[in-house]
A = this chain, B = another copy of it.
Amino acid sequence: MSIEKIKIEEKLSLFDDYWNPRIIGELNNQHVKIVKLKGEFVWHKHDKEDEMFLVISGTLKIEFRDKVVELKPNEFIIVPRGVEHKPVAEEEVSVMLFEPKTTLNTGDAKSELTRENLEKI
């Protein structure tokens, strides 16, 4: 196995589409992903996976049923399994995700936004 460093900015420069996470690392049955977001996602939850959102650039709002949390670069939040949430990006946001390999982007809310087989870049 080759052990190489990953430059997050370089990986982000490789794609332009929204709501389509790419895998940029794997460890301990977890994936490290990056994704660009713009607009509103769907309400969903993950029944078996906690999910971490770390903002790289832009401002990400995560709506919960009882509050909204706003995240700027170098800020993160951990959404525990079972908690409904909806990411909202008024302008483009780049995010790093850290979650189990089993995690589906739309959780329990499968739709045309669901991405089943993610690209590794």
Contacts and interface: CB of A to CB of B under 8 A. Distances in A.
A5 interface: yes
A52 B51 CA distance: 17
Given A3-B83, A25-B78, 17 more contacts: A3-B69, A3-B77, A3-B80, A4-B77, A5-B69, A5-B70, A6-B75, A6-B77, A8-B76, A25-B52, A26-B78, A27-B51, A27-B78, A27-B80, A27-B99, A30-B30, A56-B74
Interface residues of A, number: 34
Chain A interface, DSSP helix/strand/loop, else mixed? strand
Given A50-B27, A52-B25, A3 B64 contact: yes
Most chain B beta-carbon contacts within 10 A, residue among A49, A64, A74, A75: A74
